[in-house]
């Protein structure tokens, strides 16, 4: 799943070397945190979040096809990270 999201995001951005997708386990759910260069953040989110929603839809469809459970895709700014549940 991580590889699919990384492939999609790298195709959208101008600096694919800066794309980082981190896979986290959140109580049985899979969270994919996507980080890109600051200049590419708008490309990944899109107008009114349409591109980000499309990425989420593809990831959820792929997870359903693979019976991979629930998948959430989060676009994270470079200096912000999701707090971990320990």
> How does DSSP assign the chain, residue by residue?
-HHHHHHHHHHH-S-GGG-EEEEEEETTEEEEEEE--GGGHHHHH-GGGHHHHHHHHHHHHHHHHTT---EEEEE--TT--PPP--
Print the domain residue range for 21: 2-75
Sign of CA dihedral 72, 53, 1, 13: negative
Calculate mean pLDDT across residues 67-79: 83
Residue 26 lies in a domain: yes
User: For the chain, how many structural domains are there in total?
Assistant: 1
pLDDT tens by residue, 11-61: 999 999 999 999 998 887 899 999 999 999 999 999 999 999 999 999 999
CATH of the domain at 66: 3.30.300.20
């Amino acid at each position: 799943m991580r590889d699919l999201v990384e492939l999609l995001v790298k195709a959208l951005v101008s600096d694919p070397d800066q794309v980082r997708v981190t896979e986290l386990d959140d109580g049985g759910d899979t969270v994919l945190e996507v980080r890109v260069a600051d200049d590419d953040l708008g490309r990944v989110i899109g107008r009114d979040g349409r591109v980000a929603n499309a990425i989420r839809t593809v990831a959820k469809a792929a997870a359903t096809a693979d019976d991979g459970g629930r998948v959430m895709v989060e676009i994270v700014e470079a200096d912000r990270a999701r707090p971990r549940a320990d």
